[in-house]
Structure 1
Amino acid sequence: MRLPRFLLAGVLLLAAVFLLTSLFAQPPFHGVGVTAAAVFLPVWCVISVVNARLGVVSAGYRPAEEALVLLPVFGVPAVLAGLGWLASSTLWDGGPVIQTGRAPALFAAGLALWGAILLIAGLLTRKPSPARSAATAAAVLVPLWVLLCLVNLTIGVLAAGYTVAEEIPVFLLNVAVPAAVAVAAWGLARRTAS
């Protein structure tokens, strides 16, 4: 069944966006939840609509059937994004803004993002296979993750006052962990398929 995998992909993507927003926000920023929702919702809407379109065009489902599936595919993660927004504004004064323990939070965001991409790749391809999904996930995650880690490096230099020389080793470690997991999973899936 595809619905639970789509819901898990949505939750993982939302978790990654919320963590990244919490990491990139600088005090006294009070809009982590609303910013995370504003980034997540349009992205998830596009993914959900693409899924519905593929269901009609490729799988031959009727539009009315796909519209019924679109409701929970988009709706459940959207409600969770709204609840994250609400919790952020009421419980954490718009936060949380992660000040300490940033590396584990960044690794968790990278792994959640990779998991979401891996699931989405498997769900949106015509003839999915673990090797093809893992290859797509690695190909999408690695450049995206390098870009996000560059944003983190820039924040470290401009907002936290670190030097570029201090941030480079942290940047390399931040890139390496999720990228290594994605590439290793791709290699394992390729070997298993052979």
Structure 2
Amino acid sequence: MRLPRLLLCGALLYAAVYLLTALFAQPPFDQVGAVAAAVFLPLWLTLSVANAAIGVYSAGYRPREEATVLLPVFGVPAVLALVVWWLTGGAPIASARTPLILIAGIALWLALALLGGLLLPGATRATALRFTAAVFLPLWVALMMVNLLIGVVVAGYGVGEEIPVLLLNVAVPAVVAAGAWAPFRERPTPWNR
């Protein structure tokens, strides 16, 4: 049951990386797909190998068994990344930025929540979601500060115009993260059930 969740996690993580890369891209735009793949592939390989190591050291699987699972865990999202790069050519995103940033934030949070549940040994849902919040929120605030800087420095918006956008872009995924964690605060429910 872990494999479908890992594949979903890889697809969500790639979607977030691609959207953020396309949203943050500056001319020339022909390298968006390449940059997204260059960021995603080593990150996903590291996470895939960490999953295999957890399988060997914590779950007691043989290295040969985990090696056969490592190929689809890494390979399917990697092929997805390469196909999207090939099909899109790395087109930038010029309009509807805020909704796409919010989608990227929620996709990133979902990917991290799945990873927290899968890679933290013995994690309850509350533990996994707490870990996700601890990783996601500072990362997302930093990414949205980059978005603010792009808006001010590159697009020519004023800081006063960008602050409400920053607050909205940070608040919506943060509320989703907090809302998902709330039902599991009191009851320790294993993630894998």
Q: Which residue number corresponds to residue 41 of structure 2? A: 41
Q: Which residue number corresponds to residue 32 of structure 2? A: 32
Letter aligned with residue 21 of structure 1:
T
Deviates more, 1:77-86 or 1:128-137: 128-137
Q: Kindly indicate whether the alpha-carbon contact (under 8 Å) linking 1:55 and 1:61 is maintained by their aligned counterparts in 2.
A: yes
Structure 1 unpaired stretches of 5+: none
Matched, 1:139 2:134: yes
**How many Å apart are 1:193 and its aligned residue?**
4.1
Give the TM-score normalised by structure 1.
Answer: 0.94
Q: Which residue number corresponds to residue 82 of structure 1? A: 82
Q: Which residue number corresponds to residue 50 of structure 1? A: 50
Q: Which residue number corresponds to residue 125 of structure 1? A: 120
Q: Which residue number corresponds to residue 156 of structure 2? A: 161
SS at match of 1:131: helix
How far apart in 1 are the matches of 2:12 and 2:82?
15
Q: Which residue number corresponds to residue 9 of structure 1? A: 9
Letter aligned with residue 142 of structure 1:
L
SS at match of 1:150: helix
**How many Å apart are 1:88 and its aligned residue?**
2.0
Give deviations 1:89-141, integer Å, cap 9, x for gaps.
Answer: 2xxxx31x111110100000000000000000000011121111111111111
**How many Å apart are 1:191 and its aligned residue?**
4.0
Q: Which residue number corresponds to residue 178 of structure 2? A: 183
Q: Percent identity?
A: 60
The number of residues matched between the two structures is 189
How far apart in 2 are the matches of 1:28 and 1:189?
46
Letter aligned with residue 40 of structure 1:
F
Structure 2 unpaired stretches of 5+: none
Letter aligned with residue 45 of structure 1:
L
SS at match of 2:82: helix
Q: Kindly indicate whether the alpha-carbon contact (under 8 Å) linking 1:32 and 1:88 is maintained by their aligned counterparts in 2.
A: no
SS at match of 2:29: coil
SS at match of 1:5: helix
How far apart in 2 are the matches of 1:106 and 1:139?
20
Q: Which residue number corresponds to residue 100 of structure 1? A: 95
How far apart in 1 are the matches of 2:32 and 2:184?
36
Letter aligned with residue 125 of structure 1:
L
Give the TM-score normalised by structure 2.
Answer: 0.95
Q: Which residue number corresponds to residue 60 of structure 2? A: 60
Q: Please report the RMSD computed on the Cα atoms of aligned residues, expressed in angstroms.
A: 1.2
Structure 1 segments, 4+ long, off by >2 Å, are 191-194
SS at match of 1:31: helix
How far apart in 2 are the matches of 1:57 and 1:160?
49
Letter aligned with residue 86 of structure 1:
W
